[in-house]
A and B are shown apart, each in its own frame.
Chain A
Amino acid sequence: MQLRLFYACTMEKCADQQGTNGRAAAFVGRALRKTYVTGETQVHALRGVDLEIYAGEVLVLLGPSGSGKSTLLNIIGGLDRPTAGELWYGETELTALDDAALTRFRRANIGFVFQFYNLIPSLTAEENVRLVTDISDDPMHPADALDLVGLAERRTHFPAQLSGGEQQRVAVARAIAKRPGVLLCDEPTGALDSQTGIRVLETLAQANRELGTTLILITHNAGIAAMADRVFNFLDGQIASIAVNEKRISASEMAW
């Protein structure tokens, strides 16, 4: 508990120093480590990461391949556990939760978008969204969520009948339909051309703007970093530096 108070203090201090208008921290992580052991070899995917992520900010994780971005994102989203360290979400210590509680956490707070859209092929666009709204407390109507991503007309189509970009937008609609506190996106535009990618990013930014959703985004595209409030630069399992954008640009102004 004392530790928790300490983190809260440092978090507030950081918030003031970094000029994020005193927003509360959504996540606080301390000394997060992740080590994969495969036979004789050990891979240190995270080597002691300390972080604060503020509620409602847009955060981009940048860094070379294998630097630990996905590992961190998965831990934040409650899909994986760190080997050591603590992670708090508001008042909740995620690293102390059991599987069922972690599932409840994901269900209540997290929306995911991945590079591979991970839609269920046997369900239509709308039904894929319903997968999430079926189990949420205060979801949007699935049709409204599809409307937000501009796919209202395609709601009865199956994934096989949609283009990659459209599928990714369905995935976005699925992620935002439950009005999550946090959106986690791992290379959401990785498989898309730039124009389609920008549409997807716009939708994500819109959710951040209109719903106040904290948006955490992994990308290899430094250009995308321009839409972030802050950028974590990863190197070899650590946050090498944090960049703060005084003025973020909207997704539509980006190009790559």
Chain B
Amino acid sequence: MVRALDTKLLRDLWHMRGQALAIALVIGAATATFVMAMGVHHSLTQTRDAYYDRNGYADIFVTMVRAPRSVVEQLAAIDGVAQAEGRIEQFATLEMPGRIAPVRAVINSVGDGGASTLNRLVLLRGRGPVSDKAGEVVIDKAFADANAVHLGDRIDAIIYGSRTRLEVVGIGLAPDYIWSIAPGELVPDASRYGIFWMGEKALEAASNRQGAINAVALKMDRGAKEAEIIRHVDTLTSQYGGTGAIGRKDHLSNAFLQSELDQLEAMTRIIPPIFLLVSTFLVYVVLGRTIRTEREEIGLLKAFGHTSASVGWHYLKFALAIALLGIVLGSAAGWWMGRSMTGQYAEYYRFPFLYYQVSAPVFLAGAALAFGSAAIGAMGGVRKAVTLSPAVAMSPPPPPVYHAGWIERLGEKAGLSAVGNMIVRHIARWPGRSGVTVFGVALSLGLLFSVLQFIDSSRAMLDNYFFRAQRQDISVSFIEPRNEKVLSELASMPGVIRVEQARAVPVMLRSGPRSKRVAIEAASSDDRLTSRVDAQGFEVALPASGLMLSRALADHLGVSVGDRVEVELLGGRQTSTTMPIASTIDELIGTRAYAQSDVLSRLSRDGAPVGSANLLIDHARRDELIGRLADMPMVLGVTERDAAMGLFQRIIDENIMSMMGFYIAFASAIAIGVVYNSARILYSERAHELATLRVLGYHRNEVGIVLLGEVALLVVMAVPVGCVVGYWLARLMVAMFSSDLFRLPFAPERSSYGVATLVVLAATTATAVIVARRVNRLDMVRVLKAHD
């Protein structure tokens, strides 16, 4: 008995293979995005955790201007601190032959042979530096690859004002530099910023820090309170110019990786549910239709003694079988996509190993979601099959009843042809199914739009930051803060048209229990090269007094305009005062604070030093100027706006564009799945009418219009709905993808609506035309021999 039913199941599936496949593709898209995002998320998390664990990634980090080594013991003695380790972090400028733009590195001190207890170096090639052997360094792999530096190569570096010849003895990685960016830069560039490790004694000598350190890393006891330890650390280090200790979540490398992981997680919460929702509706519609056409068979089955439960289970299995196909396809696609995505991460984040492994629970969860949504979609139809009494089932279904409702009159008023009326009334006759088609196509369009918006958003960010906020050609940062003399020095250099200073004072802002470590940036009203631009691209003027906080910072501190915050100076000036918040600015990047130059000078008393300078230059003399800047020992970095912009653009292109293909394919899968099913149902429902039209002398293409016309009308109705759905979906994604570090602006190009619409129209048209070709197969003779 069961055997026969299963045979019927397989035969039905085969008979409806096109529709089943179309639904399976949508389910597959859900499973694929889920498996991909979760798989990559788990792989990255596990790789990160293992890496952190094996290599002693610290819990708390603090940097100071200069501290005696003895501070390490003091810090280790804090309650809850398990281990403490001090080191020197020294910036250097590298002289790479043939390179005009300056190349920089941060050199970290390590024990003999590269040993350390925390943030342990992973040597990939070569060996660690001998502690007191001058010039021996291990360099990070990304820098080595980007600059084709090999073991044994020599690099000339300017460390603390004097030229030192470095010898590359090893190539490695460390857990505190999974992601890194040169200070003052917006875009990471491994070819221009290296992470080096040098023997402790050698670096002490090179940086003139005998017996001194400027950074300490701490490992906490299990269960210790981070905030309390940080407070102790800050108290102990402030006398050495401590700039405030930070936990892992604020440590740049970890924070960036974390924001990536959060984005992946956000993706699993937005995209698979959309596909699942559509597949639920598709199963609902298709199974509903199947059960309507199989009324008599259901009645027969029951009359022959099949229980209602077994009949219901039969149709449920039909839905689950389709889901299974989707799960298999989607899991495979998701696994493969995840692998390629992980490959991209491996280039962007520096792990010594990156195991791509999708665990069984991920596959199981993906499968459960797919089965679940298919089962929900099947419920309506299954209930109908279960409750249908054999007697009722065996009589033919009541004919569809059409009334002269408002839609009918609408068609008459509009002077529609008889065929036009057929189309409009059929849509109105099946509002649920028509609604599913409209909604499905709209979601497809919306999804596509929201993905396109990402590119627009990144471009807008680029425009916002580089064209509006930063108009300098070059910014120069200094190894140590300078006094204002440096400005006139820069102004007299070749090709320099204008010089503006950029000063910042590191502080801890507190409001009640909340606090945030930031640098208050100074600006003066006659600055021409930089300005503060909000998310909408408008310039925001600095208040004459008080602070201007970025919205993200104000939200973090829970303060608003008019409130006062406690401002504690970091870095040796143990003073605390309160300042009013004069305004806030809705910025895209970071949590920042601003004040007028003179306000800041008064605050810091000793006069806020110049940390960097912005230059407007004569491009004809750019090479000469860059060369001169690179020779200045006090210059840490030289950032050219054009180059940074280009790099940023490239990252957008590489990362986002590579995902675009997937998303276009997936969004199209929805449109195709929805339209294919709706057109096929339409065709099977109307085959009799269409054949009648052919008999009456309608040409194939005219009959095709009845079929396509309805689909086209629904798709056209879906376009505005899709634009609205896309608008909100994009807003939602922008909100979910934003982190402390940056926020994506919602800035869609108008053309993105157009592109999304075109892609959806192309996918739906192609699908509908494939179905419409069935018109050629209409059998006019057969249709005349029977009712429906």
Contacts and interface: CB of A to CB of B under 8 A. Distances in A.
A89 B334 CA distance: 63
B697 A124 contact: no
A160 B421 contact: no
A80 B695 contact: no
A121 interface: yes
Interface stretch (A47-55, A106-114, A233-241, A242-250): A106-114
A77 B781 CA distance: 11
Contact of B418 (A103, A107, A121, A128): A128
A23 to B, nearest CB: 25
A122 B421 contact: yes
Given A103-B694, A131-B696, A123 B418 contact: yes
B429 A131 contact: no
Contact of A116 (B400, B698, B700, B786): B786
Interface in B644-697: 688-689, 692-697
Contacts of A160: 399-402
A121 B784 contact: no
Contacts of B700: 99-100, 103
Contacts of A110: 697
B87 interface: no
Nearest to B706: A120
A103 B694 CA distance: 8
Given A134-B418, A186-B784, A121 B402 contact: yes
Contacts of A70: 785
A156 interface: yes
Contacts of A112: 695-696
A245 to B, nearest CB: 28
A25 to B, nearest CB: 22
Contacts of A120: 418, 422, 689, 692
B750 interface: no
B540 interface: no
Contacts of A99: 700
A31 B426 CA distance: 45
Which of A74, A103, A112 counts the most chain B CB atoms within 10 A?
A103
A229 to B, nearest CB: 25
Contacts of A116: 784, 786-787
B777 to A, nearest CB: 12
A110 B697 CA distance: 8
A118 interface: yes
A106 B702 CA distance: 14
Contacts of A57: none
Contacts of B2: none
Interface in A75-100: 77, 79-80, 99-100
A134 B780 contact: no
B269 interface: no
Contact of B419 (A114, A121, A134, A174): A134
Nearest to A100: B699
B695 A118 contact: yes
A206 B151 CA distance: 105
A73 to B, nearest CB: 10
A123 B697 contact: no
Interface string A112-143: 10101010111110011011101100000000
Interface string A134-174: 11000000000000000000001011100000000000001
A47 to B, nearest CB: 19
Contacts of A114: 784
B419 A131 contact: yes
B697 A121 contact: no
Nearest to B702: A135
B449 to A, nearest CB: 34
Contacts of B399: 121, 159-160
Contacts of B514: none
A79 B778 CA distance: 11
A106 B700 CA distance: 13
Contacts of B426: 122
B422 A118 contact: no
B404 interface: yes
B781 A103 contact: no
Nearest to B776: A99
A106 B695 contact: yes
Given A124-B404, A158-B402, A135 B421 contact: no
A107 B689 CA distance: 16
Nearest to A79: B780
Given A103-B699, A112-B695, A118-B784, A131 B418 contact: yes
B417 interface: yes
Contacts of A127: 418, 421
Contacts of A130: 417-418
A123 B421 contact: yes
Contacts of A124: 404, 408
Interface string A211-254: 00000000000000000000000000000000000000000000
B400 A131 contact: no
B689 to A, nearest CB: 5
Nearest to A106: B697
Contacts of A123: 418, 421-422, 425
Interface in B399-414: 399-404, 408
Contacts of A118: 688, 692, 695, 783-784
Contacts of B429: 122
A160 B783 CA distance: 19
A131 B694 CA distance: 11
A156 B402 CA distance: 11
A147 B56 CA distance: 95
A128 B419 CA distance: 9
Contacts of B401: 158, 160
Contact of B693 (A77, A131, A156, A186): A131
A132 B784 contact: no
Interface string B329-347: 0000000000000000000
Given A116-B784, A131-B418, A134-B419, A122 B696 contact: no
Contacts of B694: 103
A158 B402 CA distance: 7
Contacts of B400: 121-122, 160
Contacts of B785: 70
Which of A80, A107, A122, A135 counts the most chain B CB atoms within 10 A?
A122
Given A106-B697, A120-B692, A132-B696, A74 B422 contact: no
A100 B699 CA distance: 7
Nearest to A158: B402
Which of A80, A108, A121 counts the most chain B CB atoms within 10 A?
A121
Contact of A103 (B421, B688, B698): B698
A128 B417 CA distance: 11
Nearest to A174: B696
A106 to B, nearest CB: 4
Nearest to B428: A122
Nearest to A74: B781
A110 B419 CA distance: 20
A132 B781 contact: no
Interface string A189-220: 00000000000000000000000000000000
Contacts of A128: 418
Contacts of A134: 417-419
Nearest to A108: B697
A156 B787 contact: no
Interface in B366-404: 399-404
A141 to B, nearest CB: 14
B698 A80 contact: no
A18 B692 CA distance: 36
Given A104-B697, A122-B400, 4 more contacts: A74-B780, A123-B421, A132-B697, A134-B417
Nearest first, the 7 closest Cβ-Cβ pairs linking A and B are: A107-B697, A122-B425, A130-B418, A106-B697, A131-B418, A79-B780, A118-B692
20 contacts: A79-B695, A80-B780, A80-B781, A99-B700, A100-B699, A103-B698, A107-B697, A108-B697, A118-B695, A118-B783, A120-B418, A121-B399, A121-B400, A128-B418, A135-B697, A135-B702, A156-B404, A160-B401, A160-B402, A174-B696
